[in-house]
Amino acid sequence: MPLIRVLCIDDERQIRKLLKIGLEAEGFLYSDAANLNEGLDAVVKQKPDLVLLDLNLPDGYGLDLLKRIREFSDVPVIVLSVKDQEADKIALLESGADDYVTKPFAMGELLARMRAILRRNTVPSALPQFRAGGLEIDFERREVRVHGEKIHLTPTEYNLLCLLAKNAGKVVTTQQIMREIWGPGLANETGYLRVYITTLRKKIESVPDAPKLLINEPAVGYRLATVPVVE
């Protein structure tokens, strides 16, 4: 089995050292970069399987680097951030981040998030496609269109949408979603799900504040509508 390449872009030497020791001990192939330009160059040349990205870099803002990466790559990106406000998290997810870990973090938590993302990206779908209203999902090509226009979803957004599509018309409980998408170790961190539901609605709903596709069942979970949506 090939080694999984993880690239860390962070200007803190101690963080890079900690991650190198921890990730190599778990069998990952680790590399790092200390600033924005080095990080961008490393993403292009090394083609990592996963990127850990700090927001505060000496030669620029990590969010700008994230947007540049998303111009040419769908590599999963986990943001390492001291920010913990929901508005900040939504902005990161809308810019293409797949997950975020608030500093300071525990190595066990980071590993759990990394493995959840990597696991989801290797699970094939048995369904050819899904359609409801203006939403179309082509599982073989991993493409999503809304009213015929292709939209970009991060790997985490895509896998969340696929989980709901595979259970279309049925309510998928919050706990089930958390276990499937983030793993059993994070089953109670439901704040992540609310953030991702918000970003998904902005991408697939005509009126995100009045959703007709991605429906919330209060105190239970979420379901994806199967009936045509009249706009």
pLDDT at 126: 54
Q: Phi-psi category of 169—alpha, beta or left, where left has phi over 0 and alpha has psi -120 to 50?
A: left
What CATH number does domain 129-224 carry, 1.10.10.10, 3.40.50.10860, 3.40.920.10, 1.10.1070.20?
Answer: 1.10.10.10
Residues of the chain with CATH 1.10.10.10: 129-224
Asked if 142 and 158 touch (Cβ cutoff 8 Å), the reply is yes
Residue range 200-223, pLDDT digits in tens: 999 999 899 999 999 998 888 999
Q: How confident is the model at residue 168 (pLDDT cuts 50, 70, 90)?
A: confident
pTM above 0.75, yes or no: no
Bridging pattern class, strands 29-33 and 129-132: unpaired
**For the chain, where do the domains classified as CATH 3.40.50.2300 start and end?**
5-120
| Residue 154 confidence (pLDDT) above 50 | yes
What phi, psi does 218 have (nearest 5°)? -50, 130
Q: Compute φ and ψ for 22, nearest 5 degrees.
A: -65, -45
Contact 93, 195 (CB under 8 A): yes
Average pLDDT over the chain reads 86
List the one residue out of 30, 42, 90 whose CA is nearest residue 63: 90
With a cut of 80, say whether residue 159 has pLDDT above it. yes
Q: How confident is the model at residue 230 (pLDDT cuts 50, 70, 90)?
A: very low
Closest CA to 166 of 211, 200, 132, 207: 132
Q: Is 40 in contact with 48 (CB distance < 8 Å)? A: no
Other residues' Cβ atoms within 10 Å of the Cβ of residue 220: 12
β-partners of residue 190 are none
Mean pLDDT score, 70-97: 81
For 32-77, write each residue's pLDDT tens digit: 999 999 999 999 999 999 999 998 899 988 889 998 998 888 899 9
List of residues 6+ apart from 121 with CB closer than 8 A? 76, 155, 159
The CATH class of the 5-120 domain is alpha beta
